[in-house]
Structure 1
Amino acid sequence: MKDLRIIVTGGTIDKVHDTRVEGLSFSPDGSTHIPEMLRIGRCHFPAIELLMLKDSLHFDDADRDAIAAAVTAAPEPAIVITHGTGTMGETARFLDGRVAGKTVVLTGAMRPFSLYASDGEFNLGGAVVAAQVLSPGVWGVMNGRVFPAERLNKNVEQGRFDA
C-alpha cells in the first residue's frame, strides 16, 4: 500500500449552507470536512493538508502553482486532491507533466458533504483507493469512474463527469 496524502483545496465537497446569505459557502472557522468523511469510512491512514478553501471557479494559475508545489513537496507517492468540479479538468491538465513520479488523483462532489445525499464520500473513497493502485500520473475519480487528466471533463447538462 502506498503512503497517501490528501491535499484539500476547497470546492463544493467542503461547503456548508450559510443561513446568513442563504447559499453555500465554506465554514466560517476555516475547517474542512475531510477528516470527518475519513472517520465515517474508518479510513485512518492518510495525511491531510489543508492548502486552501476556494471555489475552483475562482482559481487562477497562482492557485494551481500552489497545488503543484504542495504535491511536489509531499513525501508521499500517492496524492488525492479535493477540488471543485467546475475546473477540476483544467487543474488536472495543468498538473499533468508538472508532478512527475507521483500518482495524483483529483476528486470532489456535486453536492456538499454537509447536505443530505452528497456524492462526496463515494468520490473520496474511490479516489483514496485509486491513488494507491494507479500508475504515476494525474487522474480524476468522479461518479465511480477513473479518468486520465486529458479526459477529465464535467458534463454540466448531465450533471456528471464523462470521458
Structure 2
Amino acid sequence: MGELTASLAHEVNQPIAAAVTDANTCLRWLAGDTPNIEEARAAAMRIVKDAKRAAEIIGRTRLLFKKGIRERELVDVNEVIREMIVLLNSEATRYSVSIWTELAADLPQVMGDRVQLQQVIMNLIMNAIDAMKDVGGRRDLAIKSKPAEDETLWFRSAIQG
C-alpha cells in the first residue's frame, strides 16, 4: 500500500509542478516592461489544464477507494484498463516496466460494479509489476482483452522479464 501511495503522490505531483512552473512563466510574461498578454494567457491555459489533470487523478483515486453501496452498471472494460494504466504509470516507470495493450475494439460492455472492476485490474497490474521488480533485463507487461464464448470476457496479463 505504501508503494501505491508513493506512486499516486508522484502522479498528482507532476501536474501540480507543471502548474507552478507555468504560473511563474505567466507572472514573468506579465511583469515585463511590455506585458505579453498572449503568452501569459497561454501559460494560464496550461495551468488550468494541469490543475484539471491533478483533480481528475484525485477524483479517480477517491472513487477507487470509496466505501458504500455498490452500483451495477454497464462498464467498458477497456476504458477501465486504460484508466488503471494511467493511474499506475508512475509505478510501472519506477520499476522500468513497459506496459502495452491489445484491447479488442469489439469488446462488449459488462454489467458490474465499476469500482470493483477497477480494484481487480489495479491489483492485477500491481501484482505483475511487483513480480518483475527484481528481475533483470526487459520488463514487459502485456494486457489483452477479447470477447470469449458464452458471453464471457477474456482478460489476460502476461509478464516477460
Pairwise TM-score range, normalised by the shorter structure:
under 0.3
TM-score after normalising by structure 1: 0.27
**Structure with a larger share of its residues in helix:** 2
TM-score after normalising by structure 2: 0.27
Query: Could you say which structure has the larger radius of gyration?
Result: 2
